[in-house]
Amino acid sequence: MRPHSQYPFSLIIFSIILILITTARTEEPAAKSFLISCGSSTGGTDSNGRTWLPDSKYFTTPSSIDTKNSTAKQQDPSLPSQIPYMSARIFTSSSSTFRFPVSPNTRHYIRLHFYPSTYDSSLDPNNSYFSVDANGFTLLNNFSAYLTAKALAKAYFIKEYSLVPAESGKLSITFTPCSKRHGSYAFINGIEVIAIPDLFTQPPPLVSTHQSISVANSSLQTMIRLNVGGQYISPDRDSGGLSRTWYDDSPYLFAAALGVTAVADKNLTIQYYSDLPEYIAPKDVYATARTMGPDNRVNLNYNLSWVFQVDANFTYIVRLHFCELFFTRNNQRKFNIYVNNQTALEGADVYEWTQSKGAPIYQDFVTFVVDVPGVDDQELWVELHPAVKTKPQYYDAILNGLEIFKINDSSGNLAGKNPTPSKLLLDSEAKKGNKKHNNLAAIIATGLVLLVAALCLLVYLRKKRKGDRNETVLGNWLAIHDSPNTTTECGHHKSGAGCSISTQGLLCENFSMEEIKLATNNFDESKVIGVGGFGKVYKGVIRGVKEVAVKRSNPSSNQGINEFQNEIYMLSKLRHRHLVSLIGFCQEDGEMILIYDYMANGTLQQHLYKSNKPSLPWNQRLEICIGAARGLHYLHTGAKFTIIHRDVKTTNILLDESWVAKVSDFGLSKTGPNMNQTHVSTMVKGSFGYFDPEYFRRQQLTEKSDVYSFGVVLFEVLCGRQALDPTLPTEQVSLADWALMNLEKGSLEDIIDPHLQGKISIDCLKKFAEIAEKCLSDNGLERPSMGDVLWTLELALQLQKNADAGKLEEKKKEKANDDSCILFDDSNYFHNKIAMTTGR
Ligand SMILES: *[C@@H]1O[C@H](CO)[C@@H](O)[C@H](O)[C@H]1NC(C)=O
Ligand SMILES: *[C@@H]1O[C@H](CO)[C@@H](O)[C@H](O)[C@H]1NC(C)=O
Ligand SMILES: *[C@@H]1O[C@H](CO)[C@@H](O)[C@H](O)[C@H]1NC(C)=O
Ligand SMILES: *[C@@H]1O[C@H](CO)[C@@H](O)[C@H](O)[C@H]1NC(C)=O
Ligand SMILES: *[C@@H]1O[C@H](CO)[C@@H](O)[C@H](O)[C@H]1NC(C)=O
Ligand SMILES: *[C@@H]1O[C@H](CO)[C@@H](O)[C@H](O)[C@H]1NC(C)=O
Ligand SMILES: *[C@@H]1O[C@H](CO)[C@@H](O)[C@H](O)[C@H]1NC(C)=O
Ligand SMILES: *[C@@H]1O[C@H](CO)[C@@H](O)[C@H](O)[C@H]1NC(C)=O
Ligand SMILES: *[C@@H]1O[C@H](CO)[C@@H](O)[C@H](O)[C@H]1NC(C)=O
């Protein structure tokens, strides 16, 4: 489908160009480059080992009184090195120019380094407005480094431009303080000039024949450069000697839809095509990616989205870097690409393009960003969604790297307005910066939670005593719950008023839609903290004080009124330290909404592998498993009926602000067998990768199905990988099978989470693996009860603690004996080398 025939307005994607660069790889970038530390009389080396020279040789000014070299009064702790940020060249009145001799036929990167700080007590950093021109192009105008740094929430920043070749062989960069402001001045800390190959040669388009825009006579500004799903890549690790910086993409992801980060198998070599030069992007960019995740249902419900702040009235090139890391056939993973909410490409299939695993490729999209009056900073959206129409094997998408370049306008201008702070970036900075505050808040919150829990328990105990007599009220619920037919009718009511839920005998509150809308800012998309089969989960603040998770049903979801009522029924009756508390619900306007306690630390899965959160230590993982086991044990035995969870998995184990594990999502719960029945026969529900094989075969449900799923959870916690990873070789796809196979071969240690290598004592691991293995027994009767699982996990934790204590003791002893050589008995530890190095 051609975008411009479909969208005939100015916001249009002009061209889609699949680029396999045609330049020969031998065309290496010219070695000539300049690194100038401005205002410094000696120069020096930066944190990446690059040498910077003083600026005096390159710098001319009409009169020397207009300029000074100066040192910053304060060194911000985030500065990577003193060079080039701590010294600055300052211009107080007329324009001043830096001149560099450059080769006439090559493009150059110009990087301007700014550290807005106090350099001179007479100059206020917030009163510095200036323009920068280079060879006739306006790079910056009425520019405030102070406001820019504030908007980026950074102490220093770099502006990068790719300048058209200077035919004269001369490059001049001119700084002019803004004349309209009294006392305004210009400054610069560092300038890099680097000869680069042409990164925008025009190759024959492979995908479509759209008209393309020529960048040959234009200069570009790099807006963003991301190693998607990967880590920060410093200039010294860039390819082609271009010293680009590649950043982590997570601050730019929209809402909670983080997808999954993926890393190429160690065996896989990233192999550049013979005609794709390596300087396009380093291997590290292609070896990591972000995908949508293993769950087709979830993936259909969301877009993997990145949002960027850009300047209005400019044309942008969005360059997406791809590299298939897992699949080996066409149409296994096909997706659509949207740029600024327009379809940029349908049915993108990285394998189909390259016909090879590990082969990098990239694709450019061109979009014009219009000025929307009244909006300060325009946004540029990049979104990916499975191409459902083409019926791919997996509903998934992949992206490895992303760059956005701004093209100069017709008058050679690249300058935009000063930015205002981005909410997204500020949020992500605040999260990083406020850890300490959070700890204090967590302690207070824990206190409050315990207090509330104690009160709830009191209320519960009272109600329970009464509740036994209130059987009639609950009895209605049981009736609805046990015979689905009566409730399906209810589900078809438009208003939902016909079957509104009585709160009598329940411990939760019936909220009005108005209150819910207020709590979630009218279901603001940016408040989404999770997406599941049921619908979306929003973070909200109820009545302006209490943080809650609001689960809103998706009208088209399969999980209907039955589950909704099940959940209220179940949860309202159950109160336990290791179960997520239902606070209330809302059933208005035909919607079904559940309100839970907000769990500050999210799902267990997020802390195992699905994000870049720090890895949890082994003992904490054990404690979380023990908590979850306790919650399930309570479900199975603690209530009046046996309650089978039916969907035990790491995303249904949540963690509160003090890392207490809580089992959640009883939408699929069903009360278990009573005395004369040994199972509940029901439709197969649950999640792939966790299915009890027996349940799957016989469609019979017992609490031992939960035990099986919990066994999978235990291996997930141990191995730090997902239950089902279709991207792996066949024998590894199912974690349950893979773990059992390794256990049998005696090679379990090889597949445990690398973060845990050397940290688990032999005895603890043995117990842990033993119980996990039993949970996965094919025959339900052979599986332990949740009580046994709980007991064994507690034993495993004790064994670990003993080993830790023993190790510490021995280390102390050894240290006393011989301080220069630490040699402790490590027979208790796997991979003793790692244990020793971390121990020292
Ligand atoms: C500024 O330049 C002068 C002369 O070039 C030099 O003597 C002085 O040390 C420089 N000051 C700083 C802070 O680099
Ligand atoms: C600039 O900063 C100074 C203090 O450093 C402050 O007094 C002044 O109000 C600020 N001006 C503006 C426009 O923010
Ligand atoms: C670029 O500019 C040169 C000289 O100014 C001109 O000869 C050439 O045709 C231009 N190229 C494009 C693609 O516009
Ligand atoms: C990686 O290499 C090892 C040893 O060479 C081999 O056993 C294994 O199958 C390879 N894995 C993949 C995914 O190719
Ligand atoms: C964008 O262009 C329009 C029309 O030319 C103009 O009115 C508007 O001020 C421009 N916006 C910016 C941010 O320069
Ligand atoms: C994904 O993005 C496109 C373009 O913005 C939009 O049309 C579509 O509705 C989005 N899909 C979802 C599930 O959000
Ligand atoms: C694109 O869609 C998102 C919602 O998916 C919306 O918030 C955003 O404003 C849209 N952007 C543009 C440029 O229309
Ligand atoms: C960029 O500026 C140059 C020089 O002013 C001009 O020739 C070129 O057409 C501009 N590019 C675009 C895309 O307008
Ligand atoms: C310069 O930028 C400041 C801050 O963004 C703005 O308030 C001011 O209006 C701008 N001045 C001009 C002449 O554009």
Q: Which residue from 715, 723, 722 is spatially nearest to 689, judged by alpha carbons?
A: 723
Distant-in-sequence, close-in-space partners of 220: CB < 8 Å, separation ≥ 6: 161, 162, 200, 317, 405, 406, 407, 408, 414
pLDDT the model gives residue 570: 65
pLDDT the model gives residue 382: 95
Rounded to an integer, what distance in angstroms lies between the CA atom of residue 149 and that of residue 76? Answer: 12
Residue 124 CA to ligand 9 center (angstroms) comes to 16
Q: Which residue from 473, 38, 477, 28 is spatially nearest to 277, judged by alpha carbons?
A: 28
Q: Which residue from 55, 197, 61 is spatially nearest to 113, judged by alpha carbons?
A: 55
pLDDT band at 51 (very low <50, low <70, confident <90, very high): very high
CA dihedral 780→782→788→790, nearest 10 degrees, is: -50
- Percent of the chain scored above 70 by pLDDT? 73
- Minimum mean pLDDT range among 41-45, 549-553, 685-689, 720-724: 685-689
DSSP state of 179: T
pLDDT band at 496 (very low <50, low <70, confident <90, very high): very low
Ligand 6 neighbour 341 (Cβ under 6 A): yes
Residue 364 CA to ligand 8 center (angstroms) comes to 19
Structure confidence by residue, pLDDT tens digits, 140-149: 999 999 999 8
Supply the residue whose CA is at minimum distance from atom 12 of ligand 9.
142
Q: How does DSSP assign 704-769, residue by residue?
A: HHHHHHHHHHHHHHHHTS-SB-TTS-HHHHBHHHHHHHHHHHT-HHHHS-GGGTTTSBHHHHHHHH
pLDDT band at 686 (very low <50, low <70, confident <90, very high): low
pLDDT the model gives residue 388: 92
Among 306, 310, 372, 379, name the best residue to mutate to test ligand 7's pocket (greatest count of ligand atoms within 8 A of Cβ): 379
Structure confidence by residue, pLDDT tens digits, 14-35: 333 333 232 333 333 444 789 9
Q: Residue 837: how many CA atoms within 13 Å on its side-chain side?
A: 5
Quote the mean pLDDT of the chain: 77
pLDDT value at 483 more than 60:
no
Ligand with smallest separation from the Cα of 167:
3
Give the residue with greater pLDDT, 531 vs 518: 518
Ligand 4 neighbour 729 (Cβ under 6 A): yes
Rounded to an integer, what distance in angstroms lies between the CA atom of residue 382 and that of residue 308? Answer: 8
Query: Mind telling me the catalytic residues?
Result: 647
pLDDT the model gives residue 725: 86
In angstroms, what CA-CA distances link 657 with 117, 629, 652, 663, 781? 37, 19, 16, 15, 37
Atom of ligand 3 nearest to the CA of 216: 13
CA dihedral 542→545→548→553, nearest 10 degrees, is: 10
Mean pLDDT of 162-173: 92
Cβ distance 282 to 246 under 8 Å? yes
Cβ distance 362 to 322 under 8 Å? yes
Among 371, 377, 414, name the best residue to mutate to test ligand 5's pocket (greatest count of ligand atoms within 8 A of Cβ): 371
Q: Is 557 helix (H, G, I), strand (E, B) or coil?
A: coil
Rounded to an integer, what distance in angstroms lies between the CA atom of residue 4 and that of residue 12? Answer: 6
Whether the predicted model's global pTM rises above the 0.75 cut: no
Supply the residue whose CA is at minimum distance from atom 1 of ligand 2.
126
Mean pLDDT of 424-442: 48
Task: Output the six-digit token pair for 454.
Answer: 């104690």
pLDDT band at 492 (very low <50, low <70, confident <90, very high): very low
Q: How long, in residues, is the chain? A: 840
Sketch out the chain's domains with CATH numbers: 28-196 (2.60.120), 199-417 (2.60.120), 476-598 (3.30.200.20), 602-805 (1.10.510.10)
pLDDT value at 485 more than 60:
no
Q: Residue 690: how many CA atoms within 13 Å on its side-chain side?
A: 25
Mean pLDDT of 323-340: 93
Q: Residue 261: how many CA atoms within 13 Å on its side-chain side?
A: 25
Supply the residue whose CA is at minimum distance from atom 5 of ligand 1.
41
